[in-house]
Amino acid sequence: MSILQRYKVDLANASYFRESIKCQNACPVGTDACGYIRAIAHGDFERAYLTARGPNPLASICGRVCGAPCEVACRRRNIDQPVSVRALKRFATEDFTVKSGGFEPSELLRNVIDSTKWRSRLSSEDLAILAEAFDNRELHPPTGEKVAIIGSGPAGLAAGHDLALMGLRPTIYELEPIPAGMLALGIPEYRLPRDLIKAEIEVIKHLGVEIICNMEVGKDISFDEIRKAHAATVIAVGAKRSRNLSIPGHNGIGVLGGVDILRAVALNQPPPLSNRVVVIGGGNVAFDVSRTVIRQAGMDVSRTALRAAGVREVHLCSLESLEEMPADDVEIIEGNEEGVKLHPGLGPKEIHLDDGGHVQAVSFKRVLSVFDENGRFAPKFDENDITTIEADTVLWAIGQQADLSFLNPEKDGIKLTERGAIVIDPVMQQSSAPDVFVVGDVAHGVGLMIEAIASGKRVARSIHSFLRGAEFVAETSGRHAPLSRFAREKDYEKLKRRSAPSAPVEERMIGQNIEVEKTYSHQEARWEAARCLDCGVNTIFDSSKCLLCGGCVDVCPEGCLKIVSVSKLVADGETQAVLDRLCGDTPHEQASAIIKDEARCIRCAHCADRCPVGAITMEAFSFEGKWHAERIERATV
């Protein structure tokens, strides 16, 4: 190591500790994943559920299908592989929603508030809203202004949930015969059981949210009528229209939108599909479409022996190479296991039709590259390298777009961008018409379900402040509580990641509703949960007690502690000012500091155990809103 080595240091203040909890920080609704995972590790499954449910009205659904940005951010990745956060969330929510009949809704929300007394990292706004919804132990039915929500997808449901808790009266208008948007009519049942969706919606309805199905705004009722009847209106219509490319033959008979097939299958009205299906796209939706179609074939075959001769082929053709495909690895692996034939690196050129206009085949150009040197989407093709796949059906799965045909922008006073999207204030999600708000995929583009939920929750706060002039923004402060008996599971740092178990292929193909992914047993869940590095627990150093003996540095198994001269530290303004203050008159060359590489700390507590003078304590970090009178702030160096 060079004698000139310098160390960039940050001050360990409340925002530093908060941002160190990577999973929670990455979650758009701020779920305390670390909190529920540690509760599972301790066998406290009810607390795990309440922690997961607190900020998220669709927690059990996220346990099945969330894109899980928390898992991507998990710090255990620095040691080996991230904790299986989503699968653990499924485990945490499993017993308290459908299986056991769950909690009675007001009991559930009351319990969420109570549970935060333990080690709360629930957002203070959520707590304020929940607390306001209760008087002693009673949930108030909403009596306030009426709010219309157009669309019952996750964004609309989350907005309705929080608006009702805040005392406003939301009504959701949904064009489909069943609520839940893409959760019910996009995501296949083999990934997301429908009784789970129904159970979550029952809780939302119980809070006072009215849901009216078979009501298309723009057809059964006009947008203008909706606005006149409500104090505020939320547009939550998602992106339902399948995108396609205007290549020759794109209007042929047998060319369909992938999401239209998913919807038809979900409503038990599958269209007759032929023997050879080409799906164009390389993302998760393309796999949902391919795997749904292949199951449909399996069902037809088992129902009608005569059809067994015509075994259906499903070809998934993507621009991207296998390594570049945006679909999750698990989709690629499971799709492959189920018989989806993958054709990476092909760009559609033409759909060939017979004299009657029916699809006969699709020809593709070989892709040379998909992205340019700046990582921008700019596909290049070899026009002479053509592959043709015979097919009777072509399904597009290259993205979706919103249908805003119910709007009359000029008359409604709603500004659109040049590309036809609604112009919104990014914080309030308010359109140019002050009473009209926009959420979810239609506001931010096609994204993850958890982003749509977060958008719905944010808009509920915006509408509350628009109608009531009162904001829920609560001042938060960090708090550390010493853990007197902090101990980790034996060899937790060596435990290998356990993915959730899955059904064998033969079992999966029996029907659309056969779950592919299973849940952990209690023991498996506790093992996987034991891998969590518990980033919400910190090593707090008391510089007034420290002897600088170096015992903590010697004992650290990850080598993340160092004692260095303060003169070797590089700090920005605020951190430098704290260093100067702590050094006082002592020249920086003569002062020492213990510094820690947070990325590698596994919270094993060996340093605290070794310290001869008790200068290091393991402490749980939480943040609180201002309605908690007590506030403890501790300086750490």
Distance CA 368, CA 389 (A): 19
For ligand FAD, the closer CB: 293 or 607:
293
Q: How far is the CB of 361 from ligand FAD (least distance, A)?
A: 26
Q: How far is the CB of 178 from ligand FAD (least distance, A)?
A: 9
Q: How far is the CB of 190 from ligand FAD (least distance, A)?
A: 12
Residues numbered 398 to 427 that lie near ligand FAD (CB under 6 A) are 406
Residue 242, SS3? Answer: strand
Among 94, 126, 145, 174, binds ligand FAD (CB under 6 A): 174
**Backbone conformation region of residue 445, classed left if phi is above 0, alpha if psi is from -120 to 50, else beta:** left
For ligand FAD, the closer CB: 63 or 625:
63
Among 22, 89, 240, 291, binds ligand FAD (CB under 6 A): 240
Say if CB 307 and CB 301 are below 8 A apart: yes
Among 102, 142, 144, 238, binds ligand FAD (CB under 6 A): 238
Q: What are 88's two structure tokens? A: 């653990």
Q: How far is the CB of 134 from ligand FAD (least distance, A)?
A: 27
Q: What are 163's two structure tokens? A: 């608006």
**Contact between 335 and ligand FAD (CB under 6 A)?**
no
**Contact between 236 and ligand FAD (CB under 6 A)?**
yes
For ligand FAD, the closer CB: 241 or 588:
241
Q: How far is the CB of 38 from ligand FAD (least distance, A)?
A: 24
Residue 482, SS3? Answer: strand
**Which x/- pattern over 176-215 shows residues binding ligand FAD (rule: CB under 6 A)?**
x----xxx--xx----------------------------
Q: How far is the CB of 439 from ligand FAD (least distance, A)?
A: 7
Q: How far is the CB of 32 from ligand FAD (least distance, A)?
A: 19
For ligand FAD, the closer CB: 512 or 538:
512
Label the pairing between strands 359-371 and 377-390.
antiparallel
Burial of 384 (0-12, 13-18, 19+ CB in 10 A): exposed
Distance CA 393, CA 373 (A): 35
Q: What are 115's two structure tokens? A: 């549970």
**Contact between 452 and ligand FAD (CB under 6 A)?**
yes
* Residue whose entry in the numeric block shows the structure tokens 């205007």: 246
Q: How far is the CB of 407 from ligand FAD (least distance, A)?
A: 9
Kindly compute the dihedral angle of the four CA atoms of residues 50, 51, 56, 62, in this order, to the nearest 10 degrees: -90
Distance CA 438, CA 392 (A): 39
**Contact between 449 and ligand FAD (CB under 6 A)?**
yes
Q: How far is the CB of 155 from ligand FAD (least distance, A)?
A: 3
How far does the chain reach from its first CA to its final CA, in angstroms?
24
For ligand FAD, the closer CB: 177 or 357:
177
**Which x/- pattern over 379-398 shows residues binding ligand FAD (rule: CB under 6 A)?**
--------------------
Q: How far is the CB of 188 from ligand FAD (least distance, A)?
A: 8
Q: What are 380's two structure tokens? A: 């290049």
**CA atoms in the 13 A half-sphere facing the CB of 403:** 13
Radius of gyration of the chain (CA): 27
For ligand FAD, the closer CB: 45 or 173:
173
- Crossing angle of helices 105-119/194-206, nearest 10°? 90
For ligand FAD, the closer CB: 65 or 165:
65
Strand partners, 366: 346, 382
For ligand FAD, the closer CB: 153 or 625:
153
CA distances from 57 to 7, 448, 456, 607, 637 (A): 43, 15, 11, 40, 39
**Contact between 569 and ligand FAD (CB under 6 A)?**
no
Residue 124, SS3? Answer: helix
Q: How far is the CB of 226 from ligand FAD (least distance, A)?
A: 9
How many of the chain's residues bind ligand FAD (CB under 6 A)? Answer: 39
For ligand FAD, the closer CB: 401 or 567:
401
Q: How far is the CB of 400 from ligand FAD (least distance, A)?
A: 6
Print the SS3 string covering 593-621: EEEECHHHCCCCCHHHHHCCCCCEEEEEE
Q: How far is the CB of 173 from ligand FAD (least distance, A)?
A: 5
Label the pairing between strands 346-353 and 359-371.
antiparallel
- Crossing angle of helices 85-94/522-530, nearest 10°? 140
Q: How far is the CB of 165 from ligand FAD (least distance, A)?
A: 18
392-422: buried (b, 16+ CB within 10 Å) or exposed (e) per residue? bbbbbbbbbbbebebbebeebebeeeeeebb
Distance CA 182, CA 157 (A): 12
**Which x/- pattern over 144-173 shows residues binding ligand FAD (rule: CB under 6 A)?**
------xxxxxxx----------------x
Q: How far is the CB of 574 from ligand FAD (least distance, A)?
A: 37
Type of residue numbered 329: D
**Which x/- pattern over 261-300 shows residues binding ligand FAD (rule: CB under 6 A)?**
-x---------------------xx--x------------
**Which 8-state DSSP code applies to residue 358?**
B
**Contact between 447 and ligand FAD (CB under 6 A)?**
yes
Residue 313, SS3? Answer: strand
**Contact between 435 and ligand FAD (CB under 6 A)?**
no
| Piece of the chain touching ligand FAD by CB under 6 A; list 107-115, 163-171, 444-452, 624-632 | 444-452
**Which x/- pattern over 65-104 shows residues binding ligand FAD (rule: CB under 6 A)?**
xxx-------------------------------------
Q: How far is the CB of 428 from ligand FAD (least distance, A)?
A: 17
| Piece of the chain touching ligand FAD by CB under 6 A; list 49-57, 230-238, 412-420, 472-480 | 230-238
**Contact between 55 and ligand FAD (CB under 6 A)?**
no
CA distances from 188 to 143, 194, 267, 286, 287 (A): 37, 9, 11, 12, 10
* Residue whose entry in the numeric block shows the structure tokens 């255990």: 76
**Contact between 534 and ligand FAD (CB under 6 A)?**
no
For ligand FAD, the closer CB: 221 or 514:
221
Distance CA 216, CA 273 (A): 28
Say if CB 622 and CB 479 are below 8 A apart: yes
Q: Which residues would be at the binding site for ligand FAD (CB under 6 A)?
A: 65-67, 150-156, 173-176, 181-183, 186-187, 216-218, 236-238, 240, 259, 262, 284-285, 288, 406, 440-441, 447-450, 452
